[in-house]
Structure formats: C-alpha cells, structure tokens
Amino acid sequence: MNTTGYAALRCDAPLEPFSFERRAPRPNDIAMEILYSGVCHSDLHQARNDWGWSSYPMVPGHEIVGRVTAVGSAVTRYKIGDAVAVGCIVDSCMSCDQCRRGEEQLCRANATQTYNDRDRIDGTPTYGGYSKHLVVREEFVLRVPEGLDLSRAAPLLCAGITTYSPLRTWNVGPGSKVGVIGLGGLGHMAVKLAVGLGAEVTVISRARDKEADARALGADHYLVSSDTEAMAQAASRFDLIIDTVPVDHDLTTYLPLLDVDATLVIVGVVGPIQGTNTVPLLMGRRRVAGSPIGGIAETQEMLDFCARKNILPECETIRMDEINGAFERMERADVRYRFVIDMASLPAAA
C-alpha cells in the first residue's frame, strides 16, 4: 500500500514529506495504523549520519504505537483493532541461541532495525514510525496493555526498554542504589523505572535546573557533575549507574561514584569514548558495560510493568511538521522529556 511519512533525504537536509510503499502483509505480518511516534535522540543521530551507517531516504522512528488494521492469514496473536506497539527491531533470525532465549536484540545474525536497515526477505529498505502505516511480522509486535495511555506509551518502546533492560540485567530492586547520568528521554525513564523497582535513585546532571523535575519524577537525590565537592562526597555510593549521555564524554568523572564491583552501563553514546582514566576502574574493581534495547519478551514485560505501576513518560506532543524544530531542541537538551508526534497531524497524502 502507498503511505506517507517524513523522511531525511540527505544527512544535511531537514526532514520533509515523503510517500512510499509498505508491503502487503505476508502470512505472519500485521498491518497497523500508526497513531503516535516517539522522537528518540537516535533518530537525530541517524538522520544526520552521526554513526556513519545511514542510508537515504530515511524515515526515522522506532517508538511506535497504533492499531491493527489487517492481519496475515497465519497471524494468531492479534486481531483488527488491537492496540499494538513496535520498537527498534522488526525481525531477526529467530533461530540462533540469543533469539531462542528471547534476546532478539542480540541476534547473532543481527536483528533487523525498524528503519535504516533492509528487510531480511526482500532486501527493501525498512522505514520507521514517522509515517501513517507500518507492516511488521507479528513476533515483533507488542501488545499495549489496557489502561496504558496510547498518547504517552510510545517512548516506552525505546527509552523505556533501553533503561529497563539493564535495571533487570543488574537485578535492581529494593535496596539498590542507582545513578542516572543525563536527564533526557532515556534518563527520565530510567528514573521512573528504577523508582518503580524500589531502588534509591540519584540523578546526575550537568546543571541544577532539572532538580525539581528529577524529584517530581521520583529521584531521591540530585548531583551536579561539575560540583566536585558533592561528587567526592558521593564516592562509592552506587551499585549501578546508567549513562545516557549521547556524545563522547570522560567517564573518569563518574567511575569513582561506583561501589566495589559495581557497574556503569553505557546506553547513550554510540562510538568512541576517549580520555577515560582507568585508575578508578582498576582500584575499585569497577566495571563498564554496554546495553542495547531489550528483547521482545522483556519489552512486553516492561509494558505490563508500566501499566501495573502507572509509569508513563513525560511527553510533549508535537505535529509531524514540527519535527525539525524538535530535533533542534533535542540537540540543545531542551526536551522535557520526550517529544511524541501525533500522527493524526500528518495528512493521508503527502
């Protein structure tokens, strides 16, 4: 079917209206109308080719919520009208050890990304959620639990799962002391989710101006990373730090905050980290790790957890034609705390 969306045609061009084809559903596909699409910093990175693997035209968007409009003949889990969601991946080999244990994001043959990738079967480009319609194989579709506000749920599909997964991997629960570096889209979800899991949470930000917000989100403490005295006082405080900073930065500032054997998990910067001094790493037997999104089962678990605990992102709803301004604001860290595009603002024909 023909559909419409917004695409980057080059790395240095603003996004613009774009018409394209979505495949007819295969037997195991669902088709959905997209109602809301979250704006992740990764969309900005990829639209601008910050990571060096972008191809164009690119329709970004991997925080997608909508309703099923058609199902293939072999689909068993969904029916027309169901509230569904799609995150960062739309396919994987489904047969390697990682896929078999529900960690499709770690697929040995590389999971297929929702956009800026190629379909595994016909090789056509994948186009993301800044569009009216999507066709996805049913195994990569999530169910939006009843009671979760559709207009705010979309950011859970990337910002939510990317922070929930390390919290679960490192067994965060009551008594855990968690630090969150950077209070943006991922950071504010990390705070809400860690609080929901029962942890004591500290936001580590560059400036004082988000302190009231951090506390309203549930954080117990607030650290300004340039306040050397407060940072020294917080030495060895944390069991886990989630680092959401989107650009290269020196980890040396943060490593002393970890307890012995504790871990700083990088979910933000994609690329080289330079200048880090390993002394605090070695001396405290501290660890640095990375973590990409989460598997499909864990994503569903996170959605169900959010519905149960009434955890939702703080969203600023925008029209599709406001996306370029939203990107600029995101670059200035002027987002409180996630832009969500209301797809009803996009005309059916470009």
Q: Is residue 128 a contact residue for ligand NAP (CB under 6 A)?
A: no
Choices 9-17, 25-33, 41-49, 271-279; region in contact with ligand NAP by CB under 6 A: 41-49
Residue choice 206, 215, 221, 329 for contact with ligand NAP (CB under 6 A): 206
Rule CB under 6 A: choose which of 210, 237, 281, 323 binds ligand NAP: 210
The token duo for 200 is 């004591």
Determine whether 204 is exposed, middle or buried from the number of CB atoms within 10 Å of its CB (0-12, 13-18, 19+). Answer: buried
Nearer to Zn ion, 28 or 317 (CB): 317
**Beta carbon of residue 40, minimum distance to ligand NAP (angstroms, whole number):** 5
Q: Is 47 in the site for Zn ion (CB under 5 A)?
A: no
Those residues with Cβ within 8 angstroms of residue 205's Cβ, 6 or more apart along the chain or in another chain: 181, 182, 183, 211, 214, 222, 223, 224, 225
* Residue 312 binds to Zn ion (criterion: CB under 5 A): no
**Dihedral angle at the C-alpha atoms of 87, 93, 96, 101, nearest 10 degrees?**
30
How far is CA 250 from each of CA 14, 117, 254, 255, 256, rounded to the nearest angstrom? 31, 31, 8, 10, 12
Question: Which CB, 154 or 158, lies closer to Zn ion?
Answer: 158
Per-residue string for binding with Zn ion, 116-155, x by CB under 5 A? ----------------------------------------
116 scored as a contact of ligand NAP (CB under 6 A): no
Smallest distance from Zn ion to CB 42, Å: 4
Beta carbon nearer to ligand NAP, 138 or 243: 243
Token look-up 């922070």 returns: 163
Binds Zn ion by CB under 5 A, chosen from 37, 42, 263, 299? 42
**Binding-site member from 65, 83, 142, 158 for Zn ion (CB under 5 A):** 158
At 335, list the tokens. 């987002």
Residue 272: CA atoms inside 13 Å, Cβ hemisphere, count?
3
Decide: is 293 part of the binding site for ligand NAP (CB under 6 A): yes
- Interaction with ligand NAP in 235-254: which residues (CB under 6 A)? 244-247, 249
162 binds ligand NAP (CB under 6 A): yes
Q: In whole angstroms, what is the distance from residue 62 CA to residue 51 CA?
A: 17
Among the listed ranges 25-33, 77-85, 184-192, 311-319, the one in contact with ligand NAP (CB under 6 A) is 184-192
CA 33/CA 47 separation, integer angstroms: 23
Kindly state the smallest distance separating residue 40's Cβ from Zn ion, in Å.
Answer: 3
Give the β-pairing of 2-7 and 338-342.
unpaired
Asked whether the beta carbons of 261 and 288 are under 8 A apart, the reply is no
# of chain residues touching ligand NAP (CB under 6 A): 31
In the complex, what is the shortest distance from the CB of residue 130 to Zn ion, in angstroms, rounded to a whole number? 13
What are the CA-CA distances from residue 140 to residues 41, 220, 334, 347 (Å)? 22, 36, 32, 27
Q: Does 40 bind ligand NAP (CB under 6 A)?
A: yes
Out of 205, 263, 299, 300, name the contact with ligand NAP by CB under 6 A: 205
Of 92, 70, 72, the C-alpha closest to 81 is 70
Residue with Cβ nearer Zn ion (40 or 315) = 40
**Residue 202 DSSP code:** E
